[in-house]
């Protein structure tokens, strides 16, 4: 079931600015969004089919949420960790300040809400609702990811991950989400570690649809995304001053295959610790310059710990011709993914076996002194009514 979008989804220009919130009486940290003691007039822009029943209500305001901390601050938006006061559920609030936003960014925001609200998938960060408040702030109420993003995880792991971890923890669920998006004609266009999140139980969530586009509704002809993850056909597109620039230029149009290219870059980076060499050297070329692009692809080097199956997966995603790249659904059937799942399961079992062995050694080290102490008790001829207390004393002293 698709999300419901407010008719016309109008986002007006405004001169309203946000102010500094006063300190909370309960001692909670103040955030830079003022609380609303009385719910102001607001306009519900969109509501998702994934909205929890406990959060449903006719009117929305920032006063419905307890703000905990700022997670991100950009030019036009800030993201906050918060709790819904009606349901007690943790959420992330993505707040756009319309007074700071030029027309083309407002256009992208409208498109972001329209696209994100219709997506309901276990590996997509849910957009529960979006509303425009009386201070001309657009608030996106989203699913909260307690474990943070993939970039933070990568840094905690020393800059790279084991290939089987990449395949099973990241790539498989990520491709599941991407296949779902592409089946709806949605091209994400900004795949990178910062936009991949994890919940408390390590469920992967694809996030940030700020530059996403619905190819069923319009042509993709913009140089959009993040340098280093852009496919060759995206890099050859010009930047635009107006949302309608180049929309009639079929030669610039690209497809969801640009997301597949980014998957190849991402998988390589996670396993190796840095992007493919031809990307970092700035030699990516256009789709029409095939010999140079193919030469660049051949120059990609892999360290020994990356298996042939993993190399095959990455190189198939990095094909210079977009039409030669597999779809997300096809990549889900690549032999490397079940191999990675088996290796990850074996690693998990090996870890359990090691834990059991360590526990067994610990117990074995404790048992002999306890047995010796019990034997001395028996040989000493203690009265039966004293043995229980004495035995408890032995265990309290001898237990490891």
143 annotated as a binding-site residue = yes
Q: What is the pLDDT of residue 122?
A: 98
The answer to whether 353 is a known ligand-binding residue is: no
Task: State phi, psi for 374 to the nearest 5 degrees.
Answer: -65, -40
Q: Evaluate whether 100 touches 136 at the Cβ level (below 8 Å).
A: no
Q: Is 18 annotated as a binding-site member?
A: no
d(CA 70, CA 81): 6
For residues 207-232, average pLDDT:
95
Radius of gyration of the chain (CA): 28
Q: Check whether 58 has a pLDDT greater than 90.
A: no
DSSP state of 129: E
48: closest CA among 152, 166, 140, 111?
140
Please, which residues have CB within 8 angstroms of residue 43's CB and are 6 or more apart in sequence?
6, 131, 132
For residue 244, what pLDDT is reported? 85
Residue 65: pLDDT above 80? yes
Q: 267 a known binding residue?
A: no
Distance of CA 390 to the CA centre of its chain: 57
Q: Which of 193, 202, 92, 93 has the alpha carbon at shortest distance from 147?
A: 202
| Burial (Cβ within 10 Å: 0-12, 13-18, ≥19) of residue 26 | exposed
- What is the CB-side half-sphere exposure of residue 236 using CA atoms within 13 A? 16
- The residues that are catalytic are 190
> What are the pLDDT digits (tens) for 81-97?
999 999 999 999 999 99
Domain boundary assignment for the chain:
4-143, 148-334, 356-398
Average pLDDT over residues 305-324: 96
7 assigned binding-site residue: no
194: annotated binding-site residue? Answer: yes
CA distance 161 to 154: 7
Give the Cα separation of 252 and 248 in Å (integer): 9
Segment 19-46 mean pLDDT? 50
pTM of the model: 0.77
Instruction: Average the pLDDT over 347-353 and give the result.
Output: 66
CB 44 within 8 A of CB 6: yes
Residue 109 vs residues 94, 121, 242: alpha-carbon distances, Å? 11, 21, 14
Pairing of β 186-187 and β 213-214: antiparallel
Q: Cα(296)–Cα(321) distance, rounded to whole angstroms?
A: 13
Query: Do the annotations mark residue 373 as ligand-binding?
Result: no
Q: What tokens does 100 get? A: 């700071």
CATH number of the domain at 148-334, out of 3.40.50.1370, 1.10.510.10, 2.40.160.40, 1.10.540.10?
1.10.510.10
Place of tokens 């309901």: 120
- Helix then strand then coil, in percent of the chain rounded to 5, is 40, 15, 45
Q: Is the predicted pLDDT of residue 359 greater than 70, yes or no? A: no
Q: What is the pLDDT of residue 301?
A: 92
Mean pLDDT of 153-159: 95
Split at pLDDT 50, 70, 90, the class of 31 is: very low
275: left (phi over 0), alpha (psi -120 to 50) or beta: beta
Q: Which residues contact 219 (CB under 8 A, 6 or more apart)?
A: 247, 250, 253
Q: What letter does residue 335 receive in the DSSP assignment?
A: T
- The hierarchical CATH code for the domain 4-143 is 3.30.200.20
DSSP 87: T
User: Is the pLDDT higher at 37 or at 313?
Assistant: 313
Whether pLDDT at 215 is above 50: yes
Top-confidence residue, 288 or 237: 237
What separation in angstroms does the CA of 287 have from each of 191, 251, 258? Answer: 20, 11, 11
């Amino acid at each position: 079931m698709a999300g419901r979008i407010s008719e016309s989804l109008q986002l007006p220009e405004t001169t309203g600015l946000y102010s500094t919130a006063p300190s909370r009486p309960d001692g909670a940290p103040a955030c830079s969004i003022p609380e609303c003691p009385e719910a102001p007039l607001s306009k519900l822009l969109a509501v998702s089919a994934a909205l929890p029943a406990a959060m449903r209500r006719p009117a929305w305001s920032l006063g419905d949420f307890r703000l905990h901390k700022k997670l991100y601050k950009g030019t036009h938006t800030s993201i906050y960790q918060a709790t819904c006061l009606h349901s007690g559920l943790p959420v992330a609030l993505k707040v756009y300040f319309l007074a700071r936003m030029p027309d083309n960014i407002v256009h992208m925001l409208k498109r972001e809400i329209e696209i994100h609200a219709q997506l309901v998938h276990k590996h997509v960060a849910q957009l529960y609702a979006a509303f425009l408040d009386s201070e001309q702030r657009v608030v996106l109420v989203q699913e909260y990811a307690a474990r943070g993003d993939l970039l933070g995880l990568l840094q905690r792991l020393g800059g790279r991950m084991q290939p089987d971890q990449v395949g099973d923890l990241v790539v498989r669920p990520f491709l599941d989400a991407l296949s779902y998006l592409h089946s709806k004609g949605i091209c994400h266009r900004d795949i990178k570690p910062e936009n991949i999140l994890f919940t408390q139980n390590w469920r992967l969530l694809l996030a940030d649809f700020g530059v996403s586009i619905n190819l069923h509704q319009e042509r993709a002809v913009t140089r959009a995304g993040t340098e280093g993850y852009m496919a060759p056909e995206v890099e050859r597109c010009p930047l635009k001053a107006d949302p309608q620039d180049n929309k009639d230029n079929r030669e610039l149009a690209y497809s969801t295959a640009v997301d597949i290219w980014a998957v190849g870059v991402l998988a390589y980076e996670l396993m190796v610790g840095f992007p493919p060499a031809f990307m970092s050297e700035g030699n990516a070329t256009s789709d029409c310059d095939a010999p140079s692009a193919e030469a660049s692809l051949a120059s990609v080097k892999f360290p020994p710990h990356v298996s042939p199956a993993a190399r095959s997966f990455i190189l198939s995603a990095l094909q210079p011709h977009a039409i030669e790249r597999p779809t997300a659904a096809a990549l889900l059937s690549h032999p490397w993914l079940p191999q990675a799942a088996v290796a990850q399961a074996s690693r998990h079992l090996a870890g359990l076996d090691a834990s059991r062995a360590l526990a067994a050694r610990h117990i074995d080290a404790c048992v002999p002194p306890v047995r010796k102490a019990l034997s001395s008790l028996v040989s000493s001829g203690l009265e039966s009514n004293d043995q229980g207390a004495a035995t408890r004393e032995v265990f309290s002293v001898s237990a490891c």
